[in-house]
Amino acid sequence: VVEQIVRKVLSGDVRTVARLIRDIDDEVPEARECLKKLYAHTGNAHVVGITGSPGAGKSTLIDQLISHLRSRDKTVGVLAVDPTSPFSGGAVLGDRIRMQRHGLDDGVFIRSLGTRGYFGGITRSTRSAVDVLDAMGKDYILIETVGVGQDEVDVAETAQTTVVVVVPGMGDEVQAIKSGILETADIFVVNKADREGADKTRSDLEQRLDTNPDRYGPGAWRPPVLTTQATRNLGIGDLLDKIGDHAAHLRRSSPSPGLRRRREQVEKELVEMIRLRLWQRLQAQLIVSQPFKEAVAAIANREIDPYTACDRLLASQFGSR
């Protein structure tokens, strides 16, 4: 069955891909077996993360990007990720509606992810879904996340190119952008440029980048700051060109920044996967064991301190050092 699913994914079968992504999100163990086999077929897509505050216009931008990419004969996968909600709620439904004109296009595949699967949370299921879309042959994969916390930064780091979308705002908007998010940005987009204050927001961003000159030395990539009007389809071609420039930058030879970034991502991913698997094993074995229950009782009775109990339990599991 696994072989059959893998074959269908590789041939681009939309229904199989949709089911597999749902199974990944739903924590179906068989999905992991499929992912093992699909990994060798990944690495051809360019993955772009689009993040930014709620309502910044991410979905509208993506909708326009899809059109531009399709007119350049590129196929596109889109993942709308909502880490703040355990359910795929209203925002994601809105996203689907905003992009639904592409729904009948074979070259476009749009899905939303909302749960925290046991493969390692939303970041892990996003990475897995990206791998599936990559293996099915999509040229570009766009990931939309609402940018507020560390989860979004993590999801953004799944991407090769991260686009941070901001809108013209009153005063301190740019200062309020968390430095973690600022530092993951490869491209800034000031969307809703039809609104007042777009130029100010843009120069504020440039200024914030100027405060970190070491980061953008010779040969380094300094994030360009673009302006767009997503609803009017303005500035989207520029954005796509910059995404292309960044992809080219990542490919540049020795030492390839793309490879370095990829290694960092893979390292994080592997550490996270090991952490999770270890924890699952401990939960299944140690946390339900008699010695654990006895330790809990003994600590509660103040017969033993929790530090010593913890040392002993771990020693019983892994051996003492």
Do 45 and 77 contact (CB within 8 A), yes or no? yes
Tell me, by CB under 6 A, how many residues bind ligand GTP.
20
Q: Which of 194, 245, 269, 272 binds ligand GTP (CB under 6 A)?
A: 194
Q: Which of 60, 75, 123, 160 binds ligand GTP (CB under 6 A)?
A: 60
Query: What does the alpha-carbon distance between residue 52 and residue 189 come to, in Å, rounded to a whole number?
Result: 9
Q: In which element (H, E) is residue 136 found?
A: none
Rank residues 143 and 174 by Cβ distance to Mg ion and give the closer one.
143
User: Any idea which residue has 């505050």 for tokens?
Assistant: 53
Rank residues 60 and 125 by Cβ distance to ligand GTP and give the closer one.
60
Pick the stretch among 13-21, 210-218, 227-235, 272-280 that binds ligand GTP (CB under 6 A): 227-235
Least separation in angstroms between residue 279's CB and ligand GTP is 32
What does the block give as tokens for 197? 């204050």
When asked if residue 83 is in the footprint of ligand GTP (CB under 6 A), the reply is no
When asked if residue 149 is in the footprint of ligand GTP (CB under 6 A), the reply is no
When asked if residue 151 is in the footprint of ligand GTP (CB under 6 A), the reply is no
When asked if residue 60 is in the footprint of Mg ion (CB under 5 A), the reply is no
Tell me, by CB under 5 A, how many residues bind Mg ion.
3
When asked if residue 146 is in the footprint of ligand GTP (CB under 6 A), the reply is yes
Site string for ligand GTP, 91-130 (x = CB under 6 A): x--xx--x--------------------------------
Query: What does the alpha-carbon distance between residue 84 and residue 136 come to, in Å, rounded to a whole number?
Result: 28
When asked if residue 89 is in the footprint of ligand GTP (CB under 6 A), the reply is no
Least separation in angstroms between residue 146's CB and Mg ion is 7
When asked if residue 56 is in the footprint of ligand GTP (CB under 6 A), the reply is yes
Q: Is 137 buried (19+), middle (13-18) or exposed (0-12) by CB count in 10 A? A: middle
Query: What does the alpha-carbon distance between residue 290 and residue 285 come to, in Å, rounded to a whole number?
Result: 10
Q: In which element (H, E) is residue 87 found?
A: none
Q: Which of 65, 142, 205, 230 binds ligand GTP (CB under 6 A)?
A: 230
What does the block give as tokens for 297? 């009782």
User: Any idea which residue has 């010779």 for tokens?
Assistant: 218
Query: What does the alpha-carbon distance between residue 112 and residue 117 come to, in Å, rounded to a whole number?
Result: 14
Whether residue 54 has a cis bond before it, omega within 30° of 0: no
When asked if residue 202 is in the footprint of ligand GTP (CB under 6 A), the reply is no
Q: Which of 8, 46, 58, 102 binds ligand GTP (CB under 6 A)?
A: 58
When asked if residue 244 is in the footprint of ligand GTP (CB under 6 A), the reply is no
Q: Which of 95, 134, 151, 152 binds Mg ion (CB under 5 A)?
A: 95
Q: What is the dihedral of CA 85, 86, 89, 91, to 10 degrees?
A: 30
Query: CA separation (Å) from 288 to 119, 120, 280, 285, 313?
Result: 22, 22, 12, 6, 12
Query: CA separation (Å) from 65 to 54, 60, 241, 319?
Result: 19, 9, 11, 55
Please report, as ranges, the residues that interact with ligand GTP according to CB under 6 A.
52, 54-60, 91, 94-95, 98, 146, 191-192, 194-195, 229-231
Q: Which residues bind Mg ion (CB under 5 A)?
A: 58-59, 95
